[in-house]
Amino acid sequence: MASKQHNLSEYNPSQVPNGNGMRIGIAVSEWNSQITESLLQGAITTLQANGVQPNDICVYHVPGSFELIYSCSQLVKEPVDAVIAIGCVIRGDTPHFDYICEGTTYGLSRLNATQDIPVIYGLITTNSYEQALDRCGGKLGNKGDECAVTALKMIRFRQQFLKKDTQK
């Protein structure tokens, strides 16, 4: 959460699992690309800072945030341990904002509820371009960093259950 209390880039490294051997798929929207590319760089830097090998990070670009649903639904079928969805929707003067935010959020939520691989929500939804800049490396940190940390923690979460299955 980005707030006065919490910066999106702050995390406790001792609580982040080592990502060596973990494979991450990332889908990135081309809309508002200045923002989404900064989010992507944040995610990649933080994944690598926590042990993920560069060859284990697979990045795919899609036209807009709405296409994150389809692309992530395909990525979860690939040999990856987690998928990060990166997009940025800025409120304009059409209802598109609400449709895209709701549709994308619902689509990604459904993937999390129905598929085995965690899908991390890296969609920034803001009223203004400035607010988006604040969240992609500006005064509120970088949501890409937060997504990377979340991906590693969710992979560890899942591994706990995989271990239990093999012990049966």
* Alpha helices (runs of H) in 76-142, residue ranges in sequence order: 96-114, 129-134
Q: Catalytic: 61?
A: no
Query: Minimum distance between the CB of residue 94 and ligand DLZ, rounded to whole angstroms?
Result: 6
100 within 8 A of 66, measured Cβ to Cβ: yes
Of 40, 37, 46, 1, nearest to 19 (Cα)?
46
9's tokens: 């880039």
Query: Minimum distance between the CB of residue 49 and ligand DLZ, rounded to whole angstroms?
Result: 27
Q: Which of 6, 77, 96, 110 is catalytic?
A: 96
Of the pair 27, 52, the CB lying nearest ligand DLZ is at 27
Tell me, what amino acid is at 94? Answer: T
Query: Minimum distance between the CB of residue 147 and ligand DLZ, rounded to whole angstroms?
Result: 16
DSSP 15: G
Of the pair 67, 145, the CB lying nearest ligand DLZ is at 67
31/8 Cα distance (integer angstroms):
21
The footprint of ligand DLZ (CB under 6 A) covers: 29, 31-32, 63-67, 87-90, 92, 96, 100
Of the pair 99, 157, the CB lying nearest ligand DLZ is at 99
Of the pair 67, 146, the CB lying nearest ligand DLZ is at 67
68 within 8 A of 103, measured Cβ to Cβ: no
Query: Minimum distance between the CB of residue 101 and ligand DLZ, rounded to whole angstroms?
Result: 9
Q: Which residues are catalytic?
A: 96
